[in-house]
Amino acid sequence: MEKFKRGLRAFGRVPRGLGIIGRLAWDVYVKRVQGDDLKEASNRFYKSLADLLGIKILFNKESAPIVQDSTTWYVANHMSVADFIVTGSVLKNGTFAGKELKLPEPLLHAAKYIGIKRVPKEHADFQKYNRMTQGRIIKNFNEGQSTIMFPEGTITDGSRVALFRQGLLSLLFGNAAGLDQDGVTEIKLEQPVKVQPIGIKVKDVEGKCVDMRPEMRHYYSHFTSLNTIKRIWTRLATESITIELKAFDPLDPAEFNDAKDLANAAGELVRSFAAPDQVGFEKAKIPGVRERGEKDDTPPPPQRGLY
């Protein structure tokens, strides 16, 4: 009977989900919204998805205020594609770094006009396109826009926080310059940017406390699930998930020696909330990517838990 009820819930949510996606597609393809209108459309999309999936977002009572009135680089731990929905719902002035996600992963193909390019690391022009992504982030900062990033580089199962990678944060220390979208003109950061760490953790699933039943976290992370259709259906079938956030006071890059120190400090703050019993950090393996100096040319393992 319970399985039937869950299936019925998922089936009933499908039309509304299609409507939410359809509205965003209308904004992207037909209205071709830009600037603040795009931010509003994206924020509305994320909030609508959170409501559809029964995701309730609470702030920890000790959370610092989210910085919304100045250029900020938000950094958070990453355990699920739903993290985009959670952060996109509460951060009104942020675009996503890394893949430069202004829209959710399933709709990236609908956002080519934004300038998104997805290039394999083995591609001859990878470094060029990587610098162009950096250039877009820098340009956003110079225009007063904030950015959201998950510095672990991949997802975890939510029971731990992986080492925060320093890569993109080096932009705050004058160590790198991005390229404009012409692929030639260099762009450098022209204004100060603060970094605000944000911890994300699953509080309960359908009223069941995750601290008492940690296996319930899977309904949010889907870390071991490889079947995309099954993941989507399970999300639609799950009645409710409560996510708890804790924002920390912004960090000033000027108070740190380099990007590594800044990344470690931000990671430690996030860990203190998301995985308080964890000791130390490990660098998470990015599926399909070999680390510098890694000589093993064997194919990478299946992309377990990649959304």
What is the rounded CA–CA span in Å between residue 48 and residue 305?
Answer: 24
What is the rounded CA–CA span in Å between residue 158 and residue 17?
Answer: 26
Tokens of 111: 């956002």
So what's the pLDDT on residue 108? 41
Determine the straight-line distance between the first and last CA of the chain, rounded to whole angstroms.
29
CATH of the domain at 211: 3.40.1130
Any domain includes 179: yes
Residues spanned by the domain of 258? 2-274
User: What is the pLDDT averaged over residues 256-275?
Assistant: 94
Any domain includes 285: no
pLDDT, one tens digit per residue, over 3-14 is 889 999 999 999
Any domain includes 268: yes
Ramachandran assignment for 144, one of left (phi > 0), alpha (psi -120 to 50 degrees), beta (any other): left
Any domain includes 226: yes
Tokens of 242: 């409560």
Any domain includes 301: no
Partners of 245 in the β-ladder = 59, 200
Provide the residue type at 275 as one letter: A
Task: Judge whether residue 53 has pLDDT over 90.
Answer: yes
What is the rounded CA–CA span in Å between residue 77 and residue 162?
Answer: 8
Our count of domains for the chain comes to 1
So what's the pLDDT on residue 91? 83
Any domain includes 215: yes
Any domain includes 137: yes
> pLDDT band for position 110 (50/70/90)?
very low
So what's the pLDDT on residue 296? 44
Whether residue 304 contacts residue 91, with contact meaning beta carbons closer than 8 Å, is answered with: no
Any domain includes 283: no
Give me the DSSP letters along 29-91. Answer: III---HHHHHHHHHHHHHHHHHHTTEEEEE-TTPPPPP-SS-EEEEE----THHHHHHHHH-
User: What is the pLDDT averaged over residues 14-38?
Assistant: 87
So what's the pLDDT on residue 247? 96
What is the rounded CA–CA span in Å between residue 210 and residue 203?
Answer: 6
